[in-house]
Structure 1
Amino acid sequence: MIVVSETVQKFLLDYIRKKDLQPGDKLPSERELVQLLEVGRSSVREALQVLSERGIIEKQPGKGAFLKSNVFHNHLGNVKSLMPSMDTHSSLDLLQFRIGTESEIAYLAAKNRSDDCIHILEQSILDLEDCINNGTSIIAPDLLFHGTLAKATMNELIVQVYSTLVEFFKKVRIEMAINDDVEHALYYHKEILKAVKNRNSERSSILMRRHIEDVQLNYKKMLSEMGVIE
């Protein structure tokens, strides 16, 4: 069972750590988090409430959430103790599943894509570049890119299955958000788009496999740094 608020908690803790926030620094607003992570406002509020109850952040009515000094610094050396429970086996299984599934999606997308799908894929890459330049999460354009490829297959069953799995995909995306290798993501998205535009199914499939394998490797590296796996 996916508990979205716990995944949002991990994102916020990663954000605090990676951005090296200092006591009193402001966290992204509820609205910004909803847009960045593609989640519901209730999940964001629940995550903020839990972190507030744990003394990690302080919520100020009308102003937002701010890093609270004492508890955060007491625990800074032990990141793992701060993190909510993570079903890493499920996430790793999902990434393995994506390697095979999305490689086939990319193959069929190159064969069957429409001009409309190409336009959406191009826009998703522009949005991804904007996120990189602004230092914000690439979750929204990333999900748009992969979801559009599924639609580009023109296979209704693939589209339906992908739609049912997207929440699971989103869980791993949020877990990795601050640790994303954004330059690699941009490279693979651009190269996959070229292959799809040229209707080069074989290259599109190979590139997608390499892309997800790269994500898988980065995810394992993140877990190792957190002390979750050896």
Structure 2
Amino acid sequence: MDWGLMSRGETLSVPDRLSVDLERLILEGDLAPGEKLPAERELAQLLSVSRVSIREALRELENRGLIDRKPGRGTIILAPGETANAAEDVIEAFSATRSELTDIMELRAIVEPPIARITANRAQPRDLTQLEELVKAMELDVTKERYAELDRAFHQAIAQYTHNPLLSLINEQIANQIAPSRASRYQTKARRQASSVAHRRIFEAIAARDGALAEEEARAHVHDISRQIARAADASAKPKELRDGLDE
């Protein structure tokens, strides 16, 4: 991990900035579940900040259920939504299911819009900073694989910022199910651009504390993705010469 790449922001306190940056590394998978963070003293030296700032940032991440700290063992990364006594039955049920993509999109349409509404009411200032930075990153000309990472991180962050670990857990399991579609041929450049516009609309509604609009924008986004997937699936059934003309 190149700790020198972590950003510095002026609108947040040093501990909040650190917690935002570390959280994004977790959301995007750069810090994987089970991975151990350097000790506080080492992190403070790597990031050129005080140990007090590191301690406060780690306390924030611990409160959010993103890390587990134990004396003598150190700090371990948890999966977003994971807790020491996570809802194992839910996880096992999702893991045992190999649903069709249409089924997963139907579930997303039920789950994600209300989550966006809740987050609009509960997101903290540092949460809004995180969401905005993820949106800005997706608006850049990035690879399909990088976009898939940011896309997943954005939706997981929204669930995380309900500050309800069960909602975050459910969203994480949905993300695991749809991961292949995020990196598949469905993920055209046109779809990424449309998703980025939708993501910004969702973020702006959340930042405005407009729960009804956030829910509406999230629902429109999921429905639009479902339509695009259906069109791509129809196109894949056509002869190759026709598919070549449809690919973007």
For the aligned pair, the TM-score class normalised by the smaller chain equals 0.5 to 0.7
Q: Please give the alpha-carbon distance, in whole angstroms, between the structure 1 residues aligned to 2:194 and 2:178.
A: 18
- Structure 1 residue runs of 5 or longer lacking an equivalent are 1-35, 41-87
After TM superposition, the score normalised by the length of structure 2 is 0.53
For the residues of structure 2 that align with 1:99 and 1:190, how far apart are their CA atoms?
18
Q: Decide which of 140, 147, 161 is 1:138's aligned counterpart.
A: 147
Query: 1:133, CA displacement in angstroms?
Result: 5.8
Q: Is the 8 A contact 2:135 2:199 kept in 1?
A: yes
The Cα shift of 1:135 comes to 6.9
Task: Select the structure with the greater relative contact order (CA < 8 A; seq sep ≥ 6).
Answer: 1
Could you tell me which of 99, 104, 114 is aligned with 1:104?
Answer: 114
What is the Cα deviation at residue 99 of structure 1?
0.8
Task: Give the drift of 1:184.
Answer: 1.4
Matching of residue 214 in structure 1 with residue 210 in structure 2: no
What is residue 196 of structure 2 aligned with on the other side?
186
Superposition deviation, residue 171 in structure 1: 2.2
CA change 1:90–1:134 in 2 (3 A) is: closer
Alignment size in residue pairs: 145
Please list, as runs of the form range in 1=range in 2, the aligned pairs for 1:1-230 lying within 5 A after superposition.
90-130=100-140, 132=141, 137-175=146-184, 176-178=186-188, 181-227=191-237
How much has 1:183 moved relative to structure 2?
A: 2.0
5+ residue gaps, structure 2: 1-27, 33-97, 239-248
* CA-to-aligned-CA distance 1:136-173 (integer Å, 9 cap, x gap): 65211111110000011111111122223321121221
RMSD (Å) for aligned C-alpha atoms: 2.8
- Considering fraction of residues, name the structure with more helix: 1
SS of the equivalent of 1:164 reads helix
Letter in 2 for 1:96: E
Is the partner of 1:157 in helix, strand or coil? helix
Opposite residue 213 of structure 1, the aligned amino acid is: H
Deviates more, 1:153-162 or 1:102-111: 153-162
User: Quick check: 2:144–2:187 contact (8 Å CA) kept in 1?
Assistant: no
> Quick one: distance in 1 between partners of 2:103 and 2:190?
19
